[in-house]
Amino acid sequence: MFFELRQYRTFPGQREKWVKFMEEVIIPYQVSKGMVVVGSFVAQQEDDLYIWIRRFESEEERVALYKAVYETDYWQKELAPQVGAMLDRSRIVVTRIDPTPKSVIH
């Protein structure tokens, strides 16, 4: 099992709109395809930072879930254009992380 820590930077004035879009559209859609979203966060001291964490049981599961989400017409034609209007895609940082033995997140 591993996690993805995904850090996004929104364009000025877009974070509130982005959070609403994530919570009402993107996260429910991804969960409906089998993704496990562990958490969704905003930074207290950086008004453009949004972070979320997803969990995968294996690399094979991650590949299958990416395909199930990102290769759909709905994602490519409906959601992706909206993402690009709110996020600075050039500043996305995705870090794969493993929980340590005493971590409460598993």
Q: Given a cut of 80, is residue 8 above it in pLDDT?
A: yes
Give the chain's domains with CATH numbers.
2-97 (3.30.70.100)
Q: Residue 70: helix, strand or coil by DSSP?
A: helix
Distances in whole angstroms, Cα of residue 95 to Cα of each of 27, 55, 66, 69: 19, 12, 16, 19
Whole-number Å distance between alpha carbons of 89 and 20: 18
The model's pLDDT over 76-90, given as tens digits with 9 standing for 90+, comes to 999 999 999 999 999
Single pTM value for the model: 0.93
